């Protein structure tokens, strides 16, 4: 039993990090705080850079420095990824937060997405919220949004969800 406790103590606590809460997920999708415990801050996008040879076959098509961290979107033949700090998070490796809905992670146009930072209970997240065709498309399809959430402190795995934002208030 002693050895089990010793091994358990050396495993980083982010290994056991929980998934983002519903309030965080729906705040990300809607672009506004879903509860008083959630703080959301837009990431300024006035200065966007790109890098053709960003990392091992990836080109950074959308790159911003926010509070000392690079964040953005990278493309490659292997699939697209989110950038945070010195790490790439492949979109296809994202975990679905809404287990009752089966959707594959989707690419998006980073320049049309809403990028924000979300905090709840001391956990910080990078949030990217997008609709699938960008602005200008009419009809109810405008209400279907996708979002990626990445815990940044402590660092975690990438999550995604897709939802009709008109239904979000029913989740409260």
User: What per-residue confidence (pLDDT) applies to 164?
Assistant: 79
Sequence-ordered list of residues with C-beta below 8 angstroms from that of 115, at least 6 positions apart, any chain: 42, 43, 45, 64, 71, 126, 127, 128
**Distance (Å, rounded) from C-alpha 25 to C-alpha 29?**
6
Sequence-ordered list of residues with C-beta below 8 angstroms from that of 5, at least 6 positions apart, any chain: none
User: What per-residue confidence (pLDDT) applies to 142?
Assistant: 67
User: What per-residue confidence (pLDDT) applies to 33?
Assistant: 92
User: What per-residue confidence (pLDDT) applies to 171?
Assistant: 46
Full pLDDT tens readout for the chain, 172 residues = 443 333 323 333 333 456 899 999 999 998 999 899 999 999 998 889 988 888 889 999 999 999 999 999 999 999 999 999 989 999 999 999 877 666 788 899 999 999 999 999 999 999 999 987 655 455 555 678 899 999 997 678 999 998 877 776 554 4
**CA dist 160 to 25, 129, 138, Å?**
9, 10, 24
Q: How much of the chain is helix, strand and coil, in % rounded to 5?
A: 25, 40, 35
**pTM: predicted TM-score of the whole model, two decimal places:** 0.81
User: What per-residue confidence (pLDDT) applies to 154?
Assistant: 65
User: What per-residue confidence (pLDDT) applies to 168?
Assistant: 64
User: What per-residue confidence (pLDDT) applies to 59?
Assistant: 92
Which single residue is written with the structure tokens 């910080």?
A: 124
User: What per-residue confidence (pLDDT) applies to 141?
Assistant: 56
């Amino acid at each position: 039993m002693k050895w089990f406790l010793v091994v358990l103590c050396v495993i980083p606590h982010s290994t056991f990090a929980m998934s983002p809460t519903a309030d965080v997920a729906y705040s990300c999708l809607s672009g506004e705080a879903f509860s008083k415990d959630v703080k959301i801050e837009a990431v300024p996008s006035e200065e966007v850079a790109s890098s053709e040879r960003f990392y091992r076959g990836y080109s950074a098509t959308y790159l911003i420095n926010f509070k000392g961290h690079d964040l953005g979107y990278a493309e490659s033949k292997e699939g697209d990824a989110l950038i945070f700090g010195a790490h790439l998070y492949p979109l296809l490796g994202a975990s679905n937060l809404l287990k009752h809905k089966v959707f594959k992670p989707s690419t998006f146009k980073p320049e049309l997405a809403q990028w924000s930072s979300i905090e709840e209970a001391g956990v910080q997240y990078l949030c990217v919220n997008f609709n699938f065709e960008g602005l200008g498309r009419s009809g109810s399809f405008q209400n279907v949004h996708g979002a990626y959430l990445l815990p940044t402190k402590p660092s975690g795995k990438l999550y995604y969800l897709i939802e009709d934002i008109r239904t979000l208030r029913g989740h409260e």
